[in-house]
């Protein structure tokens, strides 16, 4: 699969800052991929996404998006991307439809007309289809002042997809949204990805949102710490184990020892680690009747916290 | 090439239309369009006219009305463009700056939009003039209105420079009167400056609005007996100086604004 985003040795040094915010970052995103870019506050996530979306000048390095060089072909880069910003970037004095009309004219999709009914039928159909998909079809002609945070996010999704971008950048798209709005937003994004094969580049603080990503990239203090599929990161960072217990603990312990399993005895039973094998392998070798059986599957959040605390010199859990 | 040009023009029109739409929807803007001329022409102008305007040899309120046309267009164009700073604080500039268009198209669209929006403010001025029985001058006033695009463009370039210099809305609010009040009083828009001397005369000669006001008065009083008493420079000189200031401030303002947006 070809790379749609290629970043090499990217550096950003802000004016008056002692240290660079981004220090020689290199990574690639494949076409059609769901790529999650994670890191703690101040790690360099928003700086990187701002550079990739051409709203911030880099200090050095090269960036190519959809085959276009960020320095030499910024207009082509902008035409290839859609963005949902961390803070809504909408004009509250205009209606939802007027905000979208401005967007499509800036992208040269349709000639500007002073009223919705004068806009081309193709525009009206596209906006109606997308509004129906995100469920705000009844609010298109209302001023944004009456919109909730969730509705504004949905409007931004419609706007960002009007020009059918190859890459959709989502900079903490669910911050400030309630649980229901978050869930529905992700449903829409999945639907859009399936229908339009759009590459998704996500930054988020909600790590459960990144669980479904094809690959996760973790940045900390301006450097890439780790990159890979969520299950690979979990495997590298956290040991998986089976939690078992039996009325006859002594016999169970002996069986585990004889089987050569690495385990520890805790208050709630035995934690038997199985990094290179499976829970079935452990259970198959046991004859002692069990009273407890639980497979511990670490979350991406646990793996992430392990990595960040390790980098900051904290205690390993 | 042609399609790229059409895309840029379309973007300029869309950005300008946004400002016009916002202005038409704003009740606050409608109120200001009536209150502003009432204060300046009705209160200040009438007071000056009653106490000092009798020996001038021309109708002082009409003189002030012409100056107020230039002042209103300039002030509201600059204020409209300064909204770029508000847009930046509200994160709206992100949407415009990631669009695949030239930075000059953004600035031009903003200048055109603010210019058209400022022209609506003239309606209030005309209403106040009619209430106060100030002679509008018939075709003289029409000629003045035809000059309004030039007046707005000149002010727009200054507005862009201000938006480039101000990092936040608070600074923009401080800069606005610092730029507008000296121009209002030293350009001859409201008070004659033909007899100014020393430092006031020096400032009067270096501020851009002096030449715009003088050109507006040359166009309005063309062929009138009061022309020689009111107009200070040759209209050609006014045009050249205004065009020079426009070019200088447009380029400087665009560079400053774009840099402040990307080079943080």
Sequence ranges of the domains in chain A? 3-233, 239-297
**Better-predicted residue by pLDDT, A262 or A201:** A201
Q: Over 70: is that where the pLDDT of B1 sits?
A: no
Q: What is the pLDDT of residue A316?
A: 42
Q: How does residue B2 score in pLDDT terms, banded at 50, 70 and 90? A: low
Q: Which residues of B touch A (CB under 8 A)?
A: 6-7, 10-11, 13-15, 17-18, 21-22, 25-26, 90-92, 94-101, 261-264
Q: Over 80: is that where the pLDDT of B39 sits?
A: yes
- How distant is the Cα of B20 from the closest Cα of chain A, in angstroms? 10
Structure tokens at A298: 């670490």
Coil, strand, or helix at residue B136?
A: coil
Question: Which tens digit of pLDDT belongs to each residue from B72-86?
Answer: 999 889 888 888 888
d(CA B73, CA B57): 27
Are the Cβ atoms of B100 and A92 closer than 8 angstroms? Answer: no
Q: What is the pLDDT of residue A317?
A: 37
Partners of residue A112 in chain B, C-beta under 8 Å: 10, 13-14, 17
A101 touches chain B (CB under 8 A): yes
CB atoms within 10 A of CB B225: 9
A85 touches chain B (CB under 8 A): yes
Average pLDDT over residues A10-19: 89
The closest CB to that of A55, out of B22, B101, B262, belongs to B262
Beta strands at A68-69 and A262-266: parallel, antiparallel or unpaired: unpaired
Average pLDDT over residues A257-273: 88
Question: Which tens digit of pLDDT belongs to each residue from A119-172?
Answer: 999 999 999 988 887 788 899 999 888 888 888 888 988 888 888 889 999 988
Q: What is the pLDDT of residue B35?
A: 85
Average pLDDT over residues B123-142: 87
Are the Cβ atoms of B91 and A85 closer than 8 angstroms? Answer: yes
Look at the block and give the residue holding tokens 């990217």.
Answer: A10
Closest to B78 measured CA to CA, from B178, B18, B163: B163
Residue B153 contacts by C-beta under 8 Å, 6 or more apart in sequence? B111, B115, B246
Are the Cβ atoms of A90 and B100 closer than 8 angstroms? Answer: no
Contacts of A125-128 with CB under 8 Å at 24 or more apart are A126/A162, A127/A97, A127/A100, A127/A158, A127/A162
Do the Cβ atoms of B150 and B111 come closer than 8 Å? no
ipTM: 0.78
Q: How does residue B263 score in pLDDT terms, banded at 50, 70 and 90? A: low
Bridge partners, A13 (sequence order): none
- DSSP tally for chain A: helices H, then strands E: 11, 14
| A3, burial (CB in 10 Å: exposed 0-12, middle 13-18, buried 19+) | middle
A90 touches chain B (CB under 8 A): yes
d(CA B111, CA B74): 11
Q: Over 60: is that where the pLDDT of A207 sits?
A: yes
Residue B21 contacts by C-beta under 8 Å, 6 or more apart in sequence? A93, A94, A98
Question: Which tens digit of pLDDT belongs to each residue from B197-214?
Answer: 899 999 999 999 999 999
Q: How far is CA B233 from CA A111, B141, B187, B209, B240, in A?
A: 44, 20, 12, 13, 11
What is the Cα B209 distance to its own chain's centre?
Answer: 8
Q: What is the pLDDT of residue A133?
A: 78
- How distant is the Cα of B110 from the closest Cα of chain A, in angstroms? 13
Question: Which tens digit of pLDDT belongs to each residue from B144-160?
Answer: 999 988 999 899 889 88
Do the Cβ atoms of A119 and A110 come closer than 8 Å? yes
Q: Assign domain A3-233 one CATH number from 3.40.50.1390, 3.30.70.3270, 3.20.20.100, 3.40.50.300.
A: 3.40.50.300
d(CA A167, CA A78): 10
Q: Over 80: is that where the pLDDT of A181 sits?
A: no
Are the Cβ atoms of B98 and A53 closer than 8 angstroms? Answer: yes
Do the Cβ atoms of A306 and A238 come closer than 8 Å? yes
Partners of residue A83 in chain B, C-beta under 8 Å: 94, 98
Supply φ then ψ for residue A38, to 5 degrees.
-115, 155
Q: What is the pLDDT of residue B221?
A: 92
Q: Over 90: is that where the pLDDT of A267 sits?
A: no
Strands (E), A221-268: 223-228, 241-245, 262-266
Question: Which tens digit of pLDDT belongs to each residue from A65-93?
Answer: 999 999 999 989 998 998 888 888 899 88
Q: What is the pLDDT of residue A135?
A: 81
Q: What is the average pLDDT score of chain A?
A: 87
Are the Cβ atoms of B94 and A88 closer than 8 angstroms? Answer: no
Q: Over 70: is that where the pLDDT of A312 sits?
A: no
A267 touches chain B (CB under 8 A): no
Are the Cβ atoms of A89 and B91 closer than 8 angstroms? Answer: yes
Closest to B94 measured CA to CA, from A148, A127, A55, A270: A55
Q: Over 80: is that where the pLDDT of A314 sits?
A: no
Q: What is the pLDDT of residue B264?
A: 53
Topology (CATH) of A239-297: Alpha-Beta Plaits (3.30.70)
Question: Which tens digit of pLDDT belongs to each residue from A28-75?
Answer: 999 999 999 998 888 899 899 999 998 888 999 999 999 999 999 998
Q: What is the pLDDT of residue A1?
A: 66
Q: Over 60: is that where the pLDDT of A270 sits?
A: yes
Out of A129-143, B25-39, B120-134, B236-250, which region has the weakest mean confidence (pLDDT)?
Answer: B25-39
Out of A110-119, A219-228, B163-172, which region has the weakest mean confidence (pLDDT)?
Answer: B163-172
Tell me the three-class secondary structure of B206-250, residue by residue: HCHHHHHHHHHHHHHCCCCCCHHHHCCCCHHHHHHHHHHHHHHHH
Mutate to test the interface with B, among A54, A105, A141, A171 (most CBs of B within 10 A): A105
pTM recorded for the entire structure = 0.76
Q: What is the pLDDT of residue B38?
A: 84
Q: What is the pLDDT of residue B242?
A: 94
Do the Cβ atoms of A213 and A35 come closer than 8 Å? yes
Q: Which of residues 110-129 of A touch B (CB under 8 A)?
A: 111-112, 114
Q: Do domains A3-233 and A239-297 have the same CATH topology?
A: no
Q: Over 90: is that where the pLDDT of B17 sits?
A: yes
Q: What is the enclosing helix (H) or strand (E) of B174?
A: helix B169-186
Share of chain B above pLDDT 70, in %: 97
Mutate to test the interface with A, among B6, B89, B94, B255 (most CBs of A within 10 A): B94
Starting at the edge strand that comes first in sequence, how are the strands of the sheet with A262-266 ordered? Answer: A262-266, A269-273, A241-245, A292-296
Question: Which tens digit of pLDDT belongs to each residue from B221-243?
Answer: 998 888 888 999 999 999 999 99
Residue B210 contacts by C-beta under 8 Å, 6 or more apart in sequence? B183, B186, B187, B188, B193, B204, B232
Structure tokens at A271: 């934690």
Are the Cβ atoms of B10 and A105 closer than 8 angstroms? Answer: yes
């Amino acid at each position: 699969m070809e790379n749609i985003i290629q970043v090499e040795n990217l550096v950003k040094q802000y004016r008056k800052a002692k240290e660079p915010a981004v220090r020689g970052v290199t990574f690639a995103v494949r076409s059609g991929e769901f790529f999650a870019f994670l890191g703690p506050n101040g790690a360099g996530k928003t700086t990187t996404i701002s550079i990739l979306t051409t709203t911030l000048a880099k200090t050095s390095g090269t960036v190519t998006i959809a085959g276009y060089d960020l320095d030499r072909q910024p207009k082509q880069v902008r035409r290839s991307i859609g963005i949902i910003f961390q803070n809504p970037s909408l004009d509250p004095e205009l209606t939802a439809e007027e905000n979208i009309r401005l967007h499509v004219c800036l992208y040269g999709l349709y000639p500007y007309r002073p009223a919705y009914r004068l806009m081309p039928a193709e525009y009206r159909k596209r906006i109606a289809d997308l509004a129906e998909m995100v469920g705000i079809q009844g609010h298109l002609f209302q001023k944004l002042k009456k919109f909730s945070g969730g509705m504004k996010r949905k409007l931004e999704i419609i706007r960002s997809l009007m020009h059918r971008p190859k890459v959709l950048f989502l900079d903490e798209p669910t911050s400030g949204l309630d649980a229901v709005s978050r869930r529905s937003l992700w449903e829409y994004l999945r639907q859009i990805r399936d229908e339009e094969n759009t590459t998704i580049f996500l930054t988020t603080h909600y790590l459960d949102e990144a669980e479904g990503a094809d690959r996760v990239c973790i940045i900390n203090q301006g450097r890439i710490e780790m990159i890979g599929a969520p299950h690979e990161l979990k495997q590298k960072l956290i040991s998986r184990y089976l939690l078992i217990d039996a009325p006859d603990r002594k016999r169970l312990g002996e069986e585990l020892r004889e089987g050569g399993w690495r385990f520890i005895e805790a208050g709630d039973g035995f934690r038997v680690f199985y990094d290179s094998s499976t829970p079935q392998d452990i259970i198959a070798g046991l004859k002692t009747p069990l009273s407890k059986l639980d497979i511990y599957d670490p979350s991406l959040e646990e793996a992430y916290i392990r990595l960040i605390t390790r980098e900051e010199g904290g205690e390993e859990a | 090439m042609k399609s790229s040009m059409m895309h840029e023009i379309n973007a300029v029109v869309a950005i300008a239309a946004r400002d016009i739409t916002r202005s038409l929807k704003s009740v606050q803007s409608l109120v200001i369009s009536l209150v502003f001329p009432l204060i300046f022409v009705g209160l200040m102008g009438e007071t000056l006219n009653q106490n000092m305007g009798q020996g001038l040899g021309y109708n002082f309120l009409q003189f002030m009305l012409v100056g107020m046309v230039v002042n209103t267009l300039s002030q509201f164009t600059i204020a409209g463009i300064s909204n770029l700073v508000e847009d930046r604080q509200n994160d709206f500039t992100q949407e415009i700056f990631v669009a695949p268009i030239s930075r000059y198209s953004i600035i031009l669209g903003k200048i055109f939009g603010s210019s058209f929006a400022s022209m609506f403010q003239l309606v209030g001025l005309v209403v106040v003039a009619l209430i106060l029985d100030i002679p509008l001058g018939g075709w003289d006033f029409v000629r003045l209105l035809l000059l309004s695009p030039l007046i707005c463009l000149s002010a727009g370039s200054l507005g862009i420079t201000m938006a480039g210099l101000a990092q936040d809305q608070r600074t923009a609010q401080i800069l606005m009167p610092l730029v507008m009040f000296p121009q209002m009083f030293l350009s001859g828009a409201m008070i004659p400056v033909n007899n100014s001397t020393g430092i006031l005369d020096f400032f009067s000669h270096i501020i851009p609005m002096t030449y715009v006001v003088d050109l507006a008065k040359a166009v309005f009083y063309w062929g009138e007996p009061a022309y020689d008493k009111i107009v200070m420079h040759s209209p050609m000189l006014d045009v050249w100086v205004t065009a020079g200031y426009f070019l200088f401030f447009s380029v400087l303002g665009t560079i400053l604004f774009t840099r402040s947006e990307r080079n943080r």
